[in-house]
């Protein structure tokens, strides 16, 4: 399956954690593709009070979606993240390196509060190369989908599951790998 997500989205962070779990169990092969769902965010932009409230609501909703055993690890960041650098860095990694790098990028922002707009900080996490072409292709593919939000899951049969539907499908796959398609 293909999953599109943004490193600054807590719902995408949950989708990523679930995808990692499914991959580790051998239940699914996931082609995670990073996208920028809000290209208007500038690098290092402090979270304004209205956006802080939105982030807090989203984090509360993500907490309510956690299945038994899933850790509540996401914390409110101090800045809004422009994810172009993180996405291009992720795109430059080999397929084998991507799952671990993806989790490190999500953790760096959502758990450790690091600024992923800083090339030096991203390099420390393990990303010292950039692939603008692949990241641009992923962005174009995602934008071409009907109602492009994040996360978006595209199943092998072409079925597209969006947002909370995608998270629910991933949760069902975790609890019953044969029944996650409902």
- Which pair of tokens denotes residue 2? 């293909």
- pLDDT tens by residue, 83-97: 999 999 999 999 999
Residue scoring higher pLDDT (177 or 54): 54
Give pLDDT, residue 177: 62
- Enclosing H/E stretch for 153: strand 152-154
- pLDDT tens by residue, 95-105: 999 999 999 99
* Residue range 2-175, CATH number: 3.40.30.10
* pTM recorded for the entire structure: 0.92
In the chain, what percentage of residues exceed pLDDT 90?
Answer: 69
Do 80 and 31 touch, CB atoms closer than 8 A?
no
- pLDDT tens by residue, 105-124: 999 999 998 888 888 878 88
Buried b vs exposed e over 130-156: b needs ≥16 C-beta within 10 Å? bbeebbeebbebbeeeeebbbbbbbee
Where exactly are the structural domains of the chain? 2-175
Nearby residues of 181 by Cβ (< 8 Å), 6 or more positions away: 155, 169
**41-49: average pLDDT:** 80
- pLDDT tens by residue, 133-175: 999 999 999 999 988 999 999 999 999 999 999 999 999 999 8
- Which pair of tokens denotes residue 72? 């509540």
């Amino acid at each position: 399956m293909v999953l599109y997500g943004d490193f600054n989205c807590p719902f995408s962070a949950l989708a990523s954690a679930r995808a990692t779990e499914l991959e580790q169990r051998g239940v699914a092969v996931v082609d995670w593709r990073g996208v920028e769902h809000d290209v208007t965010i500038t690098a290092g932009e402090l979270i304004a009070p209205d956006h802080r409230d939105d982030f807090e609501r989203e984090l509360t909703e993500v907490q309510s979606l956690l299945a038994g055993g899933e850790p509540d690890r996401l914390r409110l960041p101090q800045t809004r993240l422009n994810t172009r650098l993180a996405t291009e860095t992720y795109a430059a990694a080999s397929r084998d390196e991507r799952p671990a790098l993806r989790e490190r990028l999500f953790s760096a922002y959502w758990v450790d509060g690091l600024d992923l707009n800083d090339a030096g900080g991203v390099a420390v996490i393990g990303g010292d190369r950039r692939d603008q072409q692949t990241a641009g292709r992923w962005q174009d593919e995602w934008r071409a989908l009907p109602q492009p939000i994040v996360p978006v899951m595209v199943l092998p049969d072409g079925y597209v599951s969006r947002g909370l539907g995608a998270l629910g499908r991933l949760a069902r796959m975790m609890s019953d790998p044969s029944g996650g398609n409902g």
